[in-house]
Structure 1
Amino acid sequence: MPENRLPDGTPMPEFRAVSVADGEVSRADLAGAPAVVGFFSGTCGPCLEQAPDFVKAVTDYPGGRERVLAVVKGSGPVVGELRTLLEPVARVVLDPTGEGEGSVVAAFGVVRWPSYVDVAADGRITNHLAPGRIVLPTVAR
């Protein structure tokens, strides 16, 4: 499985997007406290299969859904299913192509689906939240 392009310890990249239900979200919104970013794709079978595990893992995340961002790439009915599943626990951003300027997927260098990125209070990211093993760090709980 390929590794995402931003290695562990990299500062969280700059990004700005519009969440479906909550308006604009940016790097500044996630700064200063632990956060989790989940990346899902409408063409990825494991994404839909693992989304309930992600929801369960972040349901009681400190700071609530303000500290959890879910980015869904693509379009179509599966994207709608993912959005419905994720919105109760996360701010959801739709990223139709996952490419180009303004893409959160591209900013984070995501190439592995699904991907889960832990953001430490100091803004550094780790990709250790591996697909199939969504266990949030104990320091974030």
Structure 2
Amino acid sequence: MLFLSIAVAILAALVLVDLLLSAAIIRRLRETETKLVEMTTPPASELSLGAAMPEFVSSDGQVSSAELAGGPVMIGFFSAGCRHCPAQAEALADRAEEISRAGVRVVSFLAVGEGATDELAPALRKAGLLVTEGDPSAAMTTFQVQGTPAFLMFGGDGRLLGRGHELSEVFNSK
């Protein structure tokens, strides 16, 4: 009986050591994953927070930086064929009324390359003004946007308040 008790105690100690090691490995994997995401996800824009809105006129002449001055504006960048863009376009359309009530004007730039289908336009039109451009988009270059989807929130003074790849990163309900 003594032998069996000792064996159970040793086995229990080994299981506890295994659990501790497993927890440490899981913690380390999560830390590494976070670092990898930070390293591989480019910022929504190279514009630094607090930077002034660049001077621009859309390729079709629909909108310019001068027209957007004087009030808060959220600018969204999307591209046809982007796998994350449909979800963010729908989120923007779903929250369009809430964003409008907050006094924020929404302008979306959609880059559509030759032969690409334009499936995002209906959702983006619900949210505000939509400007469709070729691929690469001149607006993306002007605003130093690295990838889509991307959102930039400018305040009434024309300064960049927030940026992100998801709507929730730049516009949260208060």
Q: TM-score range, shorter-chain basis?
A: 0.7 to 0.9
1:6 to 9, 32, 47: 47
Point out the structure with max Rg over C-alpha: 2
User: In structure 1, the residue corresponding to 2:50 is in which secondary structure?
Assistant: coil
Contact 1:39 / 1:114 at 8 angstroms: preserved in 2?
A: yes
Runs of 4+ in structure 1 over 6 Å off? 63-66
- Structural mapping, 1:1-141, within 5 Å: 1-3=41-43, 4-17=45-58, 24-62=62-100, 67-75=105-113, 76-77=116-117, 80-99=118-137, 103-131=138-166, 133-134=168-169, 136=171
**% identical aligned pairs:** 27
Residues 129/2 of structure 1: CA separation in 2 closer, same or farther (3 Å cut): closer
Alignment partners' CA distance in 2, 1:31 and 1:40: 22
Alignment partners' CA distance in 1, 2:71 and 2:167: 25
Residues 9/26 of structure 1: CA separation in 2 closer, same or farther (3 Å cut): same
Residues 82/32 of structure 1: CA separation in 2 closer, same or farther (3 Å cut): same
Which structure has greater strand proportion?
1
Alignment partners' CA distance in 1, 2:105 and 2:52: 17
Q: How many residues align structurally?
A: 131
Which structure has greater helix proportion?
2
Task: Flag structure 2 segments of 5+ consecutive residues without an equivalent.
Answer: 1-40
Contact 2:85 / 2:149 at 8 angstroms: preserved in 1?
A: yes
TM-score calculated relative to the size of structure 1: 0.79
Contact 2:92 / 2:127 at 8 angstroms: preserved in 1?
A: no
Q: CA deviation at 1:66?
A: 8.5
Alignment partners' CA distance in 1, 2:104 and 2:168: 23
The letter of the residue matching 1:105 is M
Alignment partners' CA distance in 2, 1:30 and 1:111: 22
Contact 1:129 / 1:136 at 8 angstroms: preserved in 2?
A: no
Task: Flag structure 1 segments of 5+ consecutive residues without an equivalent.
Answer: none
The letter of the residue matching 1:97 is D
Greater RCO between the two (CA within 8 Å, min separation 6)?
1
